[in-house]
Structure 1
Amino acid sequence: METDLKPFPYITQPQLLSLIEADYRIEVVAIADPFRKSAVWYGEWVLQVPEQRGEADRFLVPARQDGAPRLRVLKTAYGVISLMQELGFHEIGIPMKKGSSVSHRLGQKISSEGDVLAAPADESLALETVKAGLLHLAQRGFTSVYQAIALIEAGFAKPVILKVCQDGTWPTNFDVIRLTKSGRITAEMIQRQSQPILDDPDDIPDWKRVITEDYIHQKADDHLYATDIIHAKAWYTGPEAPEHKQMMQPAVRLRLPARKARMKGA
C-alpha cells in the first residue's frame, strides 16, 4: 500500500540498501495498531532512516511512482519480515503499538521500546517455504504437502474436503487446499515485487501434490477426469477444521484421434 503525504525526505529501496551496507541504522515504525486475524498479523508499518550523520530523516517509498512521493506501507507482519530479509537482516523486530519503532543495524541486536514481535532465527527458511507455496498455488494450482501445511499454519490457506459430483456415479471426496484472502493478496504482492522462478513442477511427484479446485479444472482441459488425478490424500492432520465444499465434475475435453487414424477408419 502507498500513502499520500505532504512533501517529505524519501529514499528508494536500492538507496536504502546502500545506506544499510554503509552501517546506517534503520527503523521499522508502526503507524497503526496491529491486530491478529486467522493467525496473520495485520497493521501498517513503514521503514525510516532516522536522522544520523547530520542528515535528515528519510522514509522508504516505492521505486516507481508518479507525482508526489508516497510512503511504502507494509500491511502484514509477513510483508515486513520479507522486506527486511531482502535488505540483509536476519534478526527482525516488528513494533506492535502505533507510534512505536524498532531500530535495526546489520550485525547488532535490535533496539526497541514497548511490545515487539520478533522473527525467530529460522524464519528465513519458513518464509521461503511459504513464498514458494503461495506461488505454486497461485500459478500452478498445486503445492507440496510440506508447503501446504506451512501455508495453513501461517493463515494463508485452508484445508478443504471437496466433494466432486459426476452424473451416474457416487460423489468422490478430495483433500484439497484453497488460499485465504490474505494468501491471495500476499501471492500477488510477491509476484509484483520480483520475478520469481519456480522449481520444475516435476520436482513434486503427482502423489505428493496438494491440489486446488482450479487444478481439477486444469486437468479437465487436459482430458482428465477428477477421479483419474493422482494427488496427495489425507495429507493434513493439524488442528484446523477443514471446510466442506461441493462441485460438479468440469466438462472434460475429449481426445480426438489423429488425422491419419481417422482417415484409415473412414
Structure 2
Amino acid sequence: MAQVIDLEKAVPNVVTETKFRDLAAEGYAIEVVAQSDALKKGPSWHGTWIFRVVSDDGMEKLLVTARTRTSRGDIKIREFKTVTGVISFLVGIGFSHADIPLEEGQRTTLKLLRNDLPTGS
C-alpha cells in the first residue's frame, strides 16, 4: 500500500535539492521510498520513488521541486520515475553505490561515508 503523505504536516518539512545535498553532506541519512511497485519495461525499470533526509533524532524533510507550489498552491514532491533517475540522483549527491526498494511501501536508508563525500567537503 502506498504511503499517504499528509501535506498539511509535511509543508514545513520540505527541502529543495540544494539544501537536501547540504544536509546529506552534514550527516543526515537519505531515505529512498518506493511509492509504487517497480516494473520492467524493456531493459529499464520504472516506478515512483521519493526521497527524504532524516536526522539522527528522527526529523524528516521531503525533497520537493525547486518550484514548491503548483498552480493550485499544492506542494510538489519530487518524484523519480526510473531506477536510472534514482541512481543518477544518488551519484550526484556523492554516493558510490545505490540500494533501491522495488516494492510499493518499501524504503531504504543510506548515509554518506566520509570517503563518499565530494572533495572539499
Q: TM-score, normalised by structure 2?
A: 0.78
Q: By how many angstroms is 1:68 displaced?
A: 2.6
2:7 is matched with 6
1:17 is matched with 21
Name the CA distance, whole Å, in 1 between partners of 2:81 and 2:66. 18
For residue 48 of structure 2, give the secondary structure of its aligned residue in structure 1. strand
Name the CA distance, whole Å, in 2 between partners of 1:30 and 1:55. 19
Identity of aligned residues (%): 31
Provide closer, same or farther for how the CA distance between residues 68 and 55 of structure 1 changes in structure 2, counting only shifts above 3 A.
farther
Structure 1 residues not aligned, in runs of 5+: 109-266
Q: By how many angstroms is 1:58 displaced?
A: 1.2
Q: Which consecutive aligned stretches of 4+ in structure 1 deviate over 3 angstroms post-superposition?
A: none
Higher relative contact order (CA 8 A, sep 6+): 2
Cα contact 1:34–1:96 (8 A) shared by 2: yes
Amino acid at match of 2:87: I
For residue 94 of structure 1, give the secondary structure of its aligned residue in structure 2. coil
2:105 is matched with 99
Equivalent residue for 1:44, pick from 37, 42, 48: 48
1:90 is matched with 96
Question: More strand by proportion, 1 or 2?
Answer: 2
Cα contact 1:34–1:97 (8 A) shared by 2: yes
Q: Quick check: 1:62 aligned with 2:68?
A: no
Q: TM-score, normalised by structure 1?
A: 0.37
Cα contact 1:5–1:71 (8 A) shared by 2: no
Amino acid at match of 2:80: L
Name the CA distance, whole Å, in 1 between partners of 2:45 and 2:99. 13
Question: What number of residue pairs does the alignment pair up?
Answer: 104
Task: List per-residue Cα deviations over 1:176-204 (Å, max 9, x = no partner).
Answer: xxxxxxxxxxxxxxxxxxxxxxxxxxxxx
1:81 is matched with 87
Question: More helix by proportion, 1 or 2?
Answer: 1
For residue 54 of structure 1, give the secondary structure of its aligned residue in structure 2. coil
Structure 2 residues not aligned, in runs of 5+: 115-121
Name the CA distance, whole Å, in 2 between partners of 1:72 and 1:48. 10
Q: By how many angstroms is 1:65 displaced?
A: 3.1
Name the CA distance, whole Å, in 2 between partners of 1:55 and 1:107. 19
For residue 68 of structure 2, give the secondary structure of its aligned residue in structure 1. coil
Query: Considering only aligned residues, what root-mean-square deviation do their CA atoms show, in Å?
Result: 1.8
Task: List per-residue Cα deviations over 1:217-242 (Å, max 9, x = no partner).
Answer: xxxxxxxxxxxxxxxxxxxxxxxxxx
Name the CA distance, whole Å, in 2 between partners of 1:25 and 1:44. 20
Task: List per-residue Cα deviations over 1:13-67 (Å, max 9, x = no partner).
Answer: 11111111111111111010101011110000000123x3435211100012332
Cα contact 1:28–1:46 (8 A) shared by 2: yes
For residue 66 of structure 2, give the secondary structure of its aligned residue in structure 1. coil
Name the CA distance, whole Å, in 2 between partners of 1:41 and 1:21. 28
Name the CA distance, whole Å, in 2 between partners of 1:55 and 1:103. 12
